[in-house]
Amino acid sequence: MMTEPTPAASQPVEDGAKQRIFRAAEALVAEHGFEAISTRDIVAAAGVNIAAVNYHYGTKTKLMLDIFRTRAAELNRERTRLLRIATETQPGDARAILRALIEPPTLWISDDRRVALRFLNRARSEGPLEVRETIRTDVRHLRRFVDALAAALPALPRDELLWRFHFALGVLHHNQAADYARLAILSDDACAPDDRAALLRRLLDFIAGGFGLPPAA
Amino acid sequence: MMTEPTPAASQPVEDGAKQRIFRAAEALVAEHGFEAISTRDIVAAAGVNIAAVNYHYGTKTKLMLDIFRTRAAELNRERTRLLRIATETQPGDARAILRALIEPPTLWISDDRRVALRFLNRARSEGPLEVRETIRTDVRHLRRFVDALAAALPALPRDELLWRFHFALGVLHHNQAADYARLAILSDDACAPDDRAALLRRLLDFIAGGFGLPPAA
DNA sequence: TCCCGTATCAAACGCGTGTTTGACATGGGC
DNA sequence: GCCCATGTCAAACACGCGTTTGATACGGGA
């Protein structure tokens, strides 16, 4: 008798107005983008009065910041955990480091955290200035991966490493974003991101190949 | 004595109100995004009256569509030309095909068509529905590359090929978009996309590696 | 019982938006 | 000289935006 059955996402189980606003705003931004939705859209989806946003969050922008920080922290925590495991159990294995970077967002795509992931991507590209400035926090987080890769690939010059890391993030972000539409059309619906394991393998193979790593065992 | 000195971009040389609106809107969207700019911002930058946008283009959205179609056609034309050359002079060379895909947008980054390129990316991700729907046109264009790659890599299953193509487009788009900022911070400003030839080589190496191709000769 | 912090509500405020209007200027064709 | 198509202009339109207000309800502690 501890909690409600199961929360839809990793939000607190209580379902007060504040949480409903949080989740409605996250879902709407994930689907329609930052500028396309209004405070009135949010409160309509959340089933609360329009003044509730400002009462609980002060400002629409502060609400977005709150969502962003919550979700970014969740993602970074999971990645950091996997990175620690990788460097401890498979020291020097660059592929394992890349896997720690890639696996969390890729698995999120196919469960109920897909919404959180798409929100994060929207925020990074379209979000208000206050949101985009927190990218500097992300950089501190990503540097751990760069350093781990540098240690695992001592022969690779640092600028080459950084460029390839930059390209790898491009693949990741693109994959989290909207446009499976184009892939679906190109493939006559033969390619869909349903099979999590296969998607993760393909992503890891592609990025590891881009880093010049030999194919997996 | 044929034309004015040199047009800033590949627009007609005449500099009437219509062209000034075109270029001002393109530049503003490239820098600030689709929803962030208003008709009044555009006419202020273009030095024309506010009614000029609706007089010449009918609607703000139609203006954006006009810019998008113009620039997309330019990019696709250039890519198609390179693809034809590649398949004629280096038949069966997958790397040459990828180069035809990658080279035009990569070179645009470092000349005065950077604005056009960033507009195209903004449009694809944030643009109004009418703009994003023209992605289907792009798909017809991209299919030529998929088919050429399939012919050059007969051993690669089509679904694997399509996924890797999807990933490759991710790298490309990410690279055309805003965020060299993160790379600059990560590298302490050691990595900048100034050197066109080096950027093109790095991109091509990464994507060819992702396709499992051996390093270039 | 009274009180006060918490929360919700309908209504409104001021402002910026995309678009439209109607007047006015220009200039080549008859 | 007149006409009409082509542009340009200041002003205004209706509307949606984020935010604020002031009233009202609830509910546990003194």
Above 80 in pLDDT, residue A122? yes
Is residue A142's beta carbon less than 7 angstroms from any atom in nucleic acid strand C? Answer: no
Cα distances from A205 to residues A100, B205, B208, B210, in angstroms, run 14, 15, 12, 7
SS3 B192: coil
Is residue B59's beta carbon less than 7 angstroms from any atom in nucleic acid strand C? Answer: yes
Is residue B125's beta carbon less than 7 angstroms from any atom in nucleic acid strand C? Answer: no
Whole-number distance in Å between A60 CA and D26 C1': 27
Cα-only R_g, chain A? 19
The pLDDT assigned to B15 comes to 77
Is residue A52's beta carbon less than 7 angstroms from any atom in nucleic acid strand C? Answer: yes
Cβ–Cβ under 8 Å, residues A123 and A33: no
The pLDDT assigned to B7 comes to 34
Q: Which residues of A touch B125 (CB under 8 A)?
A: 125-126, 177-178
pLDDT digits (tens, 9 = 90+) for B69-113: 999 999 999 999 999 999 999 999 999 999 999 999 999 988 889
Whole-number distance in Å between B118 CA and D9 C1': 33
Verify whether the Cβ–Cβ distance B210 to A209 is below 8 Å. Answer: yes
Task: Extract the tokens encoding A14.
Answer: 């209580």
CA A106, A109, A112, A116 dihedral sign is positive
| Best mutation target, B118, B124, B126, B163, to test chain A (most A CBs within 10 A) | B163
3-state secondary structure B91-133: CCCHHHHHHHHHHHHHHHHCCCCHHHHHHHHHHHHHCCHHHHC
Q: Span A175-179, mean pLDDT?
A: 74
Chain C: positions less than 7 Å from a protein CB are 7-12, 16-22
Is residue A178 very low, low, confident or very high in pLDDT (cuts 50, 70, 90)?
Answer: low
- CA dist B9 and A177 (Å) reads 30
Q: Which residues of B touch A138 (CB under 8 A)?
A: 182
Is residue A17's beta carbon less than 7 angstroms from any atom in nucleic acid strand C? Answer: yes
SS3 B187: coil
- If 0-12 CB within 10 Å is exposed, 13-18 middle and 19+ buried, where does residue B40 land? exposed
Verify whether the Cβ–Cβ distance B174 to A174 is below 8 Å. Answer: yes
Task: Extract the tokens encoding A109.
Answer: 């795509």
Domains and CATH numbers, chain A: 15-58 (1.10.10.60), 68-210 (1.10.357.10)
SS3 A137: helix
Q: Span A127-144, mean pLDDT?
A: 85
Nearest to B168 by CA among A42, A144, A72, A183: A183
pLDDT digits (tens, 9 = 90+) for A84-101: 999 999 999 999 999 999
The rounded percent of chain B whose pLDDT value lies above 90 is: 67
- CA dist B123 and B129 (Å) reads 10
Nearest chain A CA: its distance from B18 CA (Å): 27
Q: Span B146-163, mean pLDDT?
A: 97
Q: Span B9-31, mean pLDDT?
A: 81
DSSP secondary structure letters along B32-88: H-TTT--HHHHHHHHTS-THHHHHHHSSHHHHHHHHHHHHHHHHHHHHHHHHHHHHH
pLDDT digits (tens, 9 = 90+) for B164-216: 999 999 999 988 876 788 888 899 888 887 888 999 999 999 999 999 998 87
Above 80 in pLDDT, residue A9? no
Verify whether the Cβ–Cβ distance A163 to B126 is below 8 Å. Answer: no
Q: Tell me the pLDDT of chain B averaged across its residues.
A: 89
- Those residues whose C-beta lies under 8 Å from the C-beta of residue A85, and which sit 6 or more positions away, are A100
The pLDDT assigned to B131 comes to 81
